[in-house]
A = this chain, B = another copy of it.
Amino acid sequence: MTTTPIAPYTYSASFAAFDRAARVIPAGVPGHLGPSEGCFIPNGAFPRFSSRAEGSRFWDVDGNEYIDYMCGYGPNVLGYRDRDVDAAAAAQARVEDVVTLPSTVMVDLAELLVETVASADWAFFAKNGGDTTTLAVMTARAHTRRKKVVFVEGYYHGVAPWTQKLDYPGVLEEDVANNLDVPWNDLIALEAMFERHAGEIAAFISTPYFHGNFLDNVLPAPGYWQGVRDLCDRHGVVLIMDDVRAGWRLDLAGSDHHYGIKADLICFCKAIGNGYNLSALCGREQFKESVASLTYTGSYWMSAVPFAASIATITKLKEIDAPALFRAQGRKVTDGLVAAAAGHGLTLVASGEPALFYLRLADDDSLLLHQAWVAECVQRGLWITSHHNHFLNASLTDADIDRTLEVADEAFRLVAARHG
């Protein structure tokens, strides 16, 4: 391809805003949206604040425009400011939101989830994905009267102390005393763990496939989930699917259904409301009373506006068969990126499901070449990130994908020239 070089963006307004932020907010921008954890892009190569968003794009505070493959780290599934979702939310807001009694829109959404998600006989609503993983583990403990939880190495299930590691600040040995780890896709290790701790394990918690950070993502091996389901049944272990990240992008009936099983409990957040603040734990009938027995509530958990937004989101995802769209568009993006890299003598590895593709430039073990390529993309309006899976949204057009590949090509050219 021969194109005019694309001039890189500058970020003076972003950096000025970040200076203000750093004075009054710990770390300036905390968590996975901050400069330290979220991006691993060379400092100075990416902006810090957005000013508006629409469809597949957002604009930073310097007015630079991005085709966005992070989608707010997942919530943007239909496109930013989707008209149908926003209209449903606004209509609900004109009536009521957080009130002393809930709105029946909560029941409408629970019924829609039960109708849509294969493993859902009921739904419980909260705010964070982590509210639902914690509720799932507490439910499993109440149900089994056992303590231990088996995780897959490299897991992320939120930020509650029990989901963290002992060497993280503020975490106690008591917080993680009942955590056991097994490798992904390893039924032999899982069975050995279940046998070693027979009668002690309350739950196995896992994402539907391995989409951890800093590592190529890995799909379930043939028969893996069926094997997990069988082992859980034989050992009386509650199978918790953390579908916070992949949910609503692989399969509207749940990612457990997508891979051929029924989880006992399934956690949703992010894409469930196209950005409106909502999470949900769904599960099978035999766990309903255990959930009801717990003390578990929050100030905004009956907030009606996100329920209305979620109904509109799920309805539209069904109408457009969003998972099929994401598979097709995701393959176009990753096939195009891999080919563009090859055109410059580089090897780009795309892993995971196309709807949530993960990228790695394989020509340099240090990660620096990959980060440099991402930086060149971001500075030219293609928002990807270094060592985290990406997310598709339904408003991404073929023209967006063409532009994506143009920018990526230019960025490959630049780093290939430097890589030598």
- Residues of A whose CB lies within 8 Å of any CB of B are 17, 20-21, 23-27, 29-33, 37, 47-53, 58, 60-61, 66, 68, 70-76, 80-81, 86, 89-90, 93-104, 106-107, 110-111, 113-114, 121-124, 126-131, 134, 137-139, 141-142, 147, 158-162, 164, 168-172, 174-175, 177-178, 244, 269-270, 275-277, 279, 288-303, 306, 383
* A/B interface sample: 28 pairs, CB < 8 A: A21-B104, A21-B106, A21-B107, A24-B107, A24-B122, A26-B289, A30-B124, A30-B292, A31-B301, A33-B102, A48-B102, A49-B102, A50-B96, A50-B100, A51-B95, A58-B96, A58-B101, A80-B99, A90-B90, A90-B93, A97-B276, A128-B128, A128-B298, A158-B298, A159-B296, A159-B298, A168-B294, A244-B299
Q: Which of B24, B95, B100 contacts A73 (CB 8 A)?
A: B100
Assess the A31–B303 pair: CB atoms within 8 A. Answer: no
Instruction: Known A297-B30, A298-B129, A303-B277; judge A100-B178 contact (CB<8 A).
Output: no
Q: In the complex, what's the smallest C-beta–C-beta distance from A67 to chain B, in angstroms?
A: 11
**Bound CA span A98–B74, Å:** 10
User: Which residues of chain B are within 8 angstroms of A291 by Cβ–Cβ distance?
Assistant: 26-27, 30
Contact B277 A300 (CB under 8 A): yes
Do residues B24 and A123 form an inter-chain contact, with CB atoms below 8 A?
Answer: yes
Residues of B within 8 A of A292 (CB): 26-27, 30
In the bound complex, CA of A29 to CA of B292 (Å)? 9
Instruction: Name the one of B24, B50, B295 contacting A159, with C-beta atoms under 8 angstroms.
Output: B295
On whether A174 and B174 interact (CB within 8 A), knowing A100-B33, A110-B25, the answer reads: yes
Look across to chain B and name the residue whose beta carbon is closest to the beta carbon of A175: B174
The one of B98, B159, B296 in contact with A72, judged by C-beta atoms closer than 8 angstroms, is: B98
The distance from the CB of A338 to the nearest CB of chain B, in whole angstroms, is 23
Task: Tell me the number of copies of this protein.
Answer: 2
Cα(A134)–Cα(B161), bound, Å: 8
- CA A113 – CA B162 in complex, angstroms? 30
Additional A-B contact list (10), CB under 8 Å, known A147-B174, A170-B294: A17-B104, A23-B122, A30-B291, A50-B99, A52-B95, A98-B275, A98-B277, A128-B300, A275-B303, A277-B303
Q: What is the bound-complex CA distance between A166 and B175, given in angstroms? A: 15
User: Given that A104-B61, A110-B24, A290-B169 are known contacts, is A99 also in contact with B127, CB under 8 Å in the complex?
Assistant: no
List the 4 closest pairs (A to B, CB-CB), nearest first.
A31-B297, A138-B170, A98-B275, A26-B291
Q: Are A75 and B134 in contact (CB under 8 A)?
A: no
Of B81, B97, B159, B299, the contact of A96 (CB 8 Å cutoff): B81
Q: Which residues of B contact A301 (CB under 8 A)?
A: 30-31
User: A283 CB to closest chain B CB, in angstroms?
Assistant: 9
> When the two chains form their complex, are residues B299 and A53 in contact, meaning their CB atoms are under 8 A apart?
no
B-side contacts of A27, CB under 8 Å: 291-292
